[in-house]
Structure 1
Amino acid sequence: MSRAAALALLALAALTALRLLTAFWLPAAPDEAYYWIWGRALAPGYYDHPPMVALWTAAGTGLLGDTPFGIRLLAPLGVALASVLLARAGDSLFPERRPGIWAAALMNATLLFGAGSVLITPDTPLLVFWCAALWAVARLHATQDGRWWLAFGLLAGCALLSKYTALLLGGGVVLWLLLEPRARRWLRDGRLWAGGALAFLVFAPVVYWNARHDWVSFAKQGGRAGRVGAASALRYLGELIGGQAGLATPIIFVLCIAGAAAACRWWIVRRDAAAGLLVTITVPAALLFLWQATGSRVQGNWPAILYPTACIAAAACLGPRWARWRGPGIALGLALTLVVLVQAAFAPLPLPRRSDPTLARLGGWEAFAAKVEEARRERGAVFVAAEEYGLASELALYLPEGVRVVALGDRWDLFDLPAPTPWQPGLLVRSTRRTGAPLWPAARQEGELVRSRKGIEAERYRLYGVSVPSEGPTMAVLPPRR
């Protein structure tokens, strides 16, 4: 092992240790608590996403218990593995330049991965298996050994089990096979088709689950784009570009764009097949997100899949004038990541909710659950209920053992969870940000509670006295904390 590789591994180990420490310290975000519920009610599919994130949360809590650290344990460890695989992929694609360490460093210095890897979302296993599949196809290109198609198929199937946007990875590779003359020979190799069949077999349980549930998950994720006016389209495009510049950090964002453009030149002018692979995986997906932003808002985490290949392109295809910005870009990204993690964990800056997303998502959940439990006892309620899936999941995670949490909403009809007993009294907790009347029939308002962190309000909630009706909206009793 070279000295540079040894230093890179030490730096990655230190960064992973920091992420694990932060993961231990932070409370669970609402989406993380929701995915914890998934892990307690394992199924081949869910309304929102495929099941891989549920398997990860189930594995982590199986080792460390139903705690925020257990829920997100595999996230920092998985991103560390993805970093190593990305570095190996870069070196396999461009063995003369050996850009792997720089590519992994650029990726880890973005806020998307530097801070985002502390939390567990479907994007986390997607990133890990995306990088693993990219490593497999890079080894295929380097060795010309068709057996790597089997590894690629297995890993791409696992990426599809993580999030449906993994289709863009397979689509990019297929496009490379069609457009790159030196890759077309694989179309006549049975191992390529065996790898594709393996990917489908891995993903087949999700197809089966959707077929039994009216294709609800496919319909939800496939119907994201809509039509808006020109002003809204420009606003959404501006949000997408500005958001990515912030989440990737400005210097790395520019380097990734320049790297993708340079890879296009390498493919066209130099006929570099490795650069062509980066282009077909990165550019069509980027254009798809830009097109989608003309019709609907693109969430900031969705384009995260662009950065592994874009970072390799930035590390491998840019000349010395651009390369001198890699160090400052990584330094700025790591500094911003540290600021975000410190603010999330300790809140040294007294920022209001509108200026601090860590307050809205992470602030004060344990203390708030204690307030809810006190209100439940005062009113003699048998259970606590919530309409928002994230709020219901947080309450199930943080309320004392034995306190039942009832969740409302059609999505819970897709889970194999019990219904509450009719006519029992309960306490409904509902954010004041929700408009309209409660979904619960005959709810009686009985006060308010505030969730806060260091005295700064994160959210305000109304309390309602309720009882379980014999008929009404879909209700499910969430699994208790073990």
Structure 2
Amino acid sequence: MEKYHRYTLYLLGVSTVVRLFLANALEFGNDEVYYWLYAKYPALSHFDHPGFVGLFIQFFTGNLWWETELAVRLAAVIPATIAMYVVFLMGAMLRDEQTGFVAVILYNLSIYGGIIAGIFILPDAPLVLFWLLACYFFMKSIPYEPNKTNRRFMVLGLFFTGCAMYSKYQAVFLLVGLFAYLLIYNREWLRQAAVYLGLLFPVVAIGLVGYWNFENDFISYRFHGDRVSLLSAEFNGTTFGRELLGQVLYSNPYVFVILLLTMLALRKKRLVLNHQYTRIFMCFALPLVLVSLYLSMFRPTLPHWSGVAYLTLIPLLAFYIVSKAISIRKLGIGLATFYVLLIVASITINTGWLLPDPKVETPELAGRRDALMDMYGWKQVGRKLEQFFKEEQLTELPIVSDKWFPAAHIDYYVAHPLGMKVYGLGNLRDIHKYYWINKEYEALDLQRVLYITDSRNFRRPSEIYSHLYQRMECLVVLPVLRNGRTVKNVFVYQLIKE
């Protein structure tokens, strides 16, 4: 079986190279460029999420010494490679290294694991790594008697649980899974000091986030509470269907079908598997999946909320594939095809090849229906505005925005290279992190400012700032070109108080 360990290392190398290529080829999406702000303006916690994603970015960029898209996304690509190896170890624990190798293939086929948390810099990047490390060490400890070695594994599992909780709030389900397992299957651990010593790590994570929220009127808790509150809620079939479909797509429909077959085989006792491991997977994965689906019955949810739970089940799926002698060669061909499609998609986004000509629209609506434009055009905007601002001697003016997007894109691609400042001039729930960034610019003169909008999200400044600014002048309209065709327009206004 040693050859499968070698195959795994080869696969990890290929996967990393492909994801590095994609990380370098694509511009930042809305969320990614926003989390760059976490590293630029570090804090104990933030409005939307805890602080680990910002720490990851700082570490992998040398505290923003090198902050290209590739450098920032190293904080997702490298941790994902490590997480894949952890999944290999988990699969090898279930059966053998062949199972671990298949688990890594399935991980790469997962849209959530291989792309969302494996390329793009989101809080999911540290969450996935720490969650899987926690599960791995719990697998090595909680099914067994609490001897000296296993107690160390327990403490390590709780350490990584704390790290996961400082990455994203849903990591609390690691504690739910742990104590569900211990209470039902192995209460001996509840008499061990190692458990309560290890709980100090999650407590520290909660304490850091809690202290920041105490200093900021518990704003994060109120924000997320509104997102998941079920008070006065009625069943919403649309949000439930969207969440269920999203979970299938983010897992990859093929992987999801394997999951259903695995669950059916377990139910009918057709898999010869250590039942202790099966219980671990169920305890750590199912609660988050079921709670996400339940919440979606009443409120809008996002399918990536439960993505890490599906990754937790991947070693179990690999066990099923190996046990049923499903062709690994065909899996490999499928993965190679998947990689080719991803590379073609990135080229298409940047060149417009294979895409139809954009429909003729008004300048204010160009590109509004083109979802691919979320990751294209801002570099071009930055170059054009750099020249324009320097020629017109506008680089000393602040740029205002009433929403965190496109404010973060403007900040990274336009303002930051020129040493300009972006000020969030709007309400807290729209500007998010900029509410705190503004405090660093308290002495900023806002008598005369610039306002930038694009045709993807066009809004005239008169719709937003007429109560603050009396003079509003459109200085320039810049087309964003792809393959010689205008795909969107950027509008720059000057606003002046009289």
Give runs of aligned pairs for residues 309-328 of structure 1, distance below 5 A: 309-317=312-320, 320-321=323-324, 324=326, 328=330
Q: 1:311 to 1:427 in 2, by over 3 A?
A: same
Conserved 8 A contact 2:95-2:319 = no
Conserved 8 A contact 2:25-2:346 = no
What is the letter of the counterpart of residue 428 of structure 1?
Y
Conserved 8 A contact 1:46-1:217 = yes
Give runs of aligned pairs for residues 42-441 of structure 1, distance below 5 A: 42-62=42-62, 65-92=66-93, 94-95=94-95, 99-116=99-116, 117-141=118-142, 144=145, 145-180=150-185, 183-225=186-228, 230=235, 233-263=236-266, 272-317=275-320, 320-321=323-324, 324=326, 328=330, 331-347=333-349, 348-350=353-355, 357=371, 359-377=372-390, 380-381=393-394, 382-399=397-414, 400-409=417-426, 410=428, 411=432, 412-415=434-437, 417-419=440-442, 421-432=444-455, 433=457, 437-439=463-465, 441=468
Conserved 8 A contact 1:110-1:334 = no
Matched residue count = 462
Tell me, what secondary structure is at the counterpart of 2:122?
Answer: coil
Conserved 8 A contact 2:177-2:287 = yes
Distance 1:329 1:244 in 2: 21
Distance 2:482 2:331 in 1: 32
Tell me, what secondary structure is at the counterpart of 1:62?
Answer: coil
Question: Which moves more between the two structures, 276-285 or 265-274?
Answer: 265-274
Q: 1:153 to 1:365 in 2, by over 3 A?
A: same
Q: 1:97 to 1:368 in 2, by over 3 A?
A: closer
What is the letter of the counterpart of residue 395 of structure 1?
I
What is the letter of the counterpart of residue 88 of structure 2?
A
Identity in percent = 23
Q: 1:256 to 1:17 in 2, by over 3 A?
A: same
What is the letter of the counterpart of residue 259 of structure 2?
C
Deviation at 1:30, TM superposition (A): 2.5
Conserved 8 A contact 2:161-2:201 = no
Deviation at 1:379, TM superposition (A): 5.5
What is the letter of the counterpart of residue 49 of structure 2?
H
Q: Does 1:12 align with 2:9?
A: no
Q: 1:177 to 1:216 in 2, by over 3 A?
A: same
Question: 1:475 is matched with which residue?
Answer: none
Deviation at 1:278, TM superposition (A): 0.5
Q: 1:25 to 1:90 in 2, by over 3 A?
A: same
Distance 1:142 1:99 in 2: 20
Deviation at 1:268, TM superposition (A): 12
Deviation at 1:204, TM superposition (A): 1.8
Distance 1:45 1:431 in 2: 31
Deviation at 1:423, TM superposition (A): 4.5
Question: 1:21 is matched with which residue?
Answer: 21
- Residues 430-470 of structure 1, C-alpha deviations (whole Å, 9 max, x = no match): 3453668124722625154444543566654443222479x
Deviation at 1:15, TM superposition (A): 1.1
Segments of 5+ residues of structure 2 without an aligned counterpart are: 359-366
Conserved 8 A contact 1:107-1:307 = no
Tell me, what secondary structure is at the counterpart of 1:223?
Answer: helix
What is the letter of the counterpart of residue 282 of structure 1?
A
Q: Does 1:444 align with 2:472?
A: yes
Q: 1:307 to 1:355 in 2, by over 3 A?
A: farther
Conserved 8 A contact 2:265-2:271 = no
Deviation at 1:141, TM superposition (A): 4.1
Q: 1:176 to 1:3 in 2, by over 3 A?
A: same
Conserved 8 A contact 1:383-1:427 = yes
Deviation at 1:223, TM superposition (A): 2.5
Conserved 8 A contact 1:260-1:279 = no
Deviation at 1:248, TM superposition (A): 2.1
Distance 2:271 2:74 in 1: 43
Distance 1:274 1:198 in 2: 25
Distance 1:115 1:299 in 2: 16
Deviation at 1:99, TM superposition (A): 2.6
Q: 1:211 to 1:169 in 2, by over 3 A?
A: same
- Residues 340-360 of structure 1, C-alpha deviations (whole Å, 9 max, x = no match): 343224533326668864x23
TM-score, normalization by structure 2: 0.83
Distance 1:280 1:212 in 2: 35
- Residues 236-295 of structure 1, C-alpha deviations (whole Å, 9 max, x = no match): 222222223222221111112333454566699988111011011122211111111111
Conserved 8 A contact 1:82-1:131 = yes
Distance 2:454 2:114 in 1: 31
Tell me, what secondary structure is at the counterpart of 1:417?
Answer: helix
Question: 1:474 is matched with which residue?
Answer: none
TM-score, normalization by structure 1: 0.86
Conserved 8 A contact 1:384-1:428 = yes
Distance 2:247 2:293 in 1: 12
Tell me, what secondary structure is at the counterpart of 2:140?
Answer: helix
Question: Which moves more between the two structures, 72-81 or 401-410?
Answer: 401-410
- Residues 381-438 of structure 1, C-alpha deviations (whole Å, 9 max, x = no match): 3233323323222222222332333333423223452235224422101345366812
Distance 1:47 1:267 in 2: 47
Q: CA RMSD in A?
A: 3.0
Segments of 5+ residues of structure 1 without an aligned counterpart are: 470-482
What is the letter of the counterpart of residue 110 of structure 1?
S
